[in-house]
Amino acid sequence: MSWERVAAQFPVRLPRGYLGDAMRPDDPRLLTALPDDRELIADAGDIPDPVGEQALSPLPWVVRKHDDRVLLLLTKRCHVYCRYCFRRDHQPGAAEDPSPSEWSAMLRYARGSGAKEVILSGGDPLAISDARLCDAIDSLRPEIPVVRIHTRAPITFPQRITPRLVSELRARAPIWVLVHANHPVELSPPVREALSRLVDAGIPVLNQAVLLRGINDDVDVLAELCEELVRLRVFPYYLHHTDAAPGNAAFRVSLDAGRDLYQRLRARLSGIALPTYVIDPPDGSGKQVIGHGLR
């Protein structure tokens, strides 16, 4: 395998301990975190901007798809660079973080946007320091009442969810945390502790999973994931259809297969355990619920 060639297109990063006891070659943590030569093969279904963000970026590090929400990219850094990610424009040598002027401009834009919610994303917003994260939140208030933190850190680097961080977030309520677990094997004891620490502090936690071929495109796997999340008091909010980013074709599931799988999942799970199956189309219109008529 040519790791160097793959990493030249999209970096490889793993925190110590993430792979845990992942010894089998088909472990989902290995398959989604380690590079694969197939990423270098162009696919007819590739879409350079698969969720339509580029045309809806009024400023660097800002995405505006909806009148009531603004998305801020606080960094391009992540604890793990998931190989299926739709934001695969993180080129080696490119800026990983906003410059001081860009940071100020994006926060100023959000405050004056009239939005009711701001989504802090990236990269991973928990790849920055507590002080910088709290500065962003404090700079948005009082104009923005609700702040959402979209992070995979509780899953990939649970040590990041320290008592101090949780205390800082709790003091800045309302804060919602949306995490990203795709497979029950990711719910290790340290991950469970991190999620419980957030929930015990009164911080709502929701999960967004991505439907991935060879990882969780199985009704038993998805049912177990959702049921375990509910036991942890984490709501299984969304099941995302895979975005067709260049390099991730090996992970894509067809809409027909995804729809069939979701119907079987609906028959298995209660309302509080069932995620909404959505697709984020490349026209930038935002998430759409996948129904029988969508092709």
pLDDT of residue 24: 77
pLDDT of residue 12: 82
pLDDT of residue 91: 54
Q: Are 31 and 217 in contact (CB under 8 A)?
A: no
- Is the whole-model pTM more than 0.85? yes
Which among 136, 144, 124, 122 has a CA at the least distance from the CA of 79?
124
Which tokens in the block code for residue 177? Answer: 């945390």
**HSE of 138, CA atoms in CB hemisphere, 13 A:** 8
Q: What is the pLDDT of residues 191-211, one digit of tens each?
A: 999 999 999 999 999 999 999
H or E segment at 229? helix 219-231
More confident residue, 3 or 75: 75
pLDDT band at residue 40 under the 50/70/90 scheme: confident
Q: Which residues of 148-173 are buried (b: 16+ CB within 10 A; e: fewer)?
A: bbbbbbbbbbbebbeeebbebbeebe
CA dist 215 and 1 (Å) reads 21
Which of 3.20.20.70, 3.30.2000.10, 3.40.50.720, 3.40.50.300 would CATH assign to domain 3-289?
A: 3.20.20.70
Given a cut of 60, whether residue 293 has pLDDT beyond it is no
H or E segment at 258? helix 255-266
CA dist 51 and 16 (Å) reads 31
The residue whose two tokens read 């995979």 is 152
Percent of the chain scoring above 70 in pLDDT = 94
Q: Give me the sign of the Cα torsion angle 164, 169, 172, 173.
A: negative
SS3 at position 174 = coil
Given a cut of 60, whether residue 92 has pLDDT beyond it is no
Do β-strands 62-66 and 69-73 pair in parallel, antiparallel, or remain unpaired?
Answer: antiparallel
Residues pairing with 71 in the sheet:
63, 119
| Gyration radius of the chain over CA positions | 18
CA dist 236 and 126 (Å) reads 21
pLDDT band at residue 80 under the 50/70/90 scheme: very high
CA dist 167 and 193 (Å) reads 15
Q: What is the pLDDT of residues 219-260, one digit of tens each?
A: 999 999 999 999 999 999 999 999 999 989 999 999 999 999
pLDDT of residue 166: 98
pLDDT band at residue 105 under the 50/70/90 scheme: very high
CA dist 128 and 107 (Å) reads 16
Residue 165 identity: L
What residue segments make up the domains of the chain, in order of their start? 3-289
H or E segment at 201? none
Q: What is the pLDDT of residues 258-284, one digit of tens each?
A: 999 999 999 999 999 999 999 999 999
